[in-house]
A = this chain, B = another copy of it.
Amino acid sequence: MRRILMHVGPSVGNYEVLLRMVRDNVGFNSPEFLESMQNSLDGVSLLFGADKSYTQFIIPGGGTSVMEAAATFLQENDRILVASNGVFGDRWREIFRRYRVTVDYVNVVAGESVTGNMISERFGDRRYRMGFFTHVETSTGVRSQVPEIARELRKVSDFVVLDGVASIGGEEAEAAKWGIDYFVTASQKAIGAPPGAGIAVASDRLMESIPDKSLAGYSLNLANWMDPMESYLSGKGKYFATPPVHTILGLSYAIDLIREETMKRRVERHSNVRALLADGINDLGLGILAKDGFRSNTVTGVLTGDLDARGLISECFAHGVEFASGVHPSLAGKYLRIGHMGWVTENDAATAISVLRNAIRSIS
């Protein structure tokens, strides 16, 4: 049966993008790849709202890879600050616990967001090398107030880092305007390409501050990727490690489609879908995990009340839509997540609500 994927990434896919991957004679030095890589790097600036004072990166792996690549900018005994809205906010802490830095941490209950006030009150008298937070928290669907938090973080931290894994491509993003020094995402979320690439922009100020003895290892050390990226940007190849060639053939076409749609209309589309889903969830008598005003365009956490969320997900799958389970440990089995990213349409929102309604009936 034809099925729709409304998971949190890969999310709603697009065959046209996937078909671009079908090239059996394109390697990492072939002109088709070099054009796609150049085009993709160029598009990355658009996606993040980055200007020429940023360096773009597309590296093998995914969101966690580019998150960890922030180690490029750290040295032993640095102190960093993590403001977490959930599982993926916590991931910054998990990652840097593996490195010899000190991690200070603030978090909130599921569905809420750290605020600028919380940062200034709790960390106002300390100095940090980097401050990390999350644009859209995939585990709850919460979108944080980026300008406000970025402003407060800048007061206490040399550099401001933002996880845009679940936002880039579906939310407004203004790296330069907001003063984000390192902003990361992955290919398979709201950009709507296949997974396989971690994507990031880093400000010149940050790039110039790479320590001689950075903590980064080898593959995820952005210093190793600087020359290849510069080459790729000028349309030439330079080997450091094999890039995910076919993923990038798809990514490049996704970026073409994004340019054609324009980021403005793309964000509006995601926003409309969010609103339609919220209305429908309301009508079904279910709740939304993220507080009003903090609801993202890309992920909606649906509180399932008396219904077991996992059973409901199975039933929805049987009715033709795949949702994601809720992964916030404090709410196990009590919610599901609708991923509405990438190529999602208003019709998909209608389908999601219709399927939820039918599934609730079936299991009630």
Contact = CB atoms under 8 A, between A and B. Distances in A.
Contact of A217 (B10, B19, B29, B220): B220
Contact of A22 (B21, B71, B354): B21
Interface in A35-71: 60-65, 68, 71
B68 A217 contact: yes
Of the listed residues A1, A196, A320, the one surrounded by the most CB atoms of chain B closer than 10 A to its CB is: A196
B22 A10 contact: no
A220 B220 contact: yes
A27 B2 contact: no
Interface of A: 1-5, 7, 9-15, 18-19, 21-30, 60-65, 68, 71, 94-95, 98-99, 186, 188, 194-196, 216-221, 239, 241-247, 319-322, 324, 327, 343, 345-348, 350-351, 354-355, 358
The interface residues of chain A, by DSSP majority, are classed as loop
B60 A347 contact: no
Identical chains in the assembly? 4
Contact of A345 (B1, B99, B322, B343): B1
Nearest to A21: B21
A347 B186 CA distance: 30
A65 B7 CA distance: 27
A9 B345 contact: no
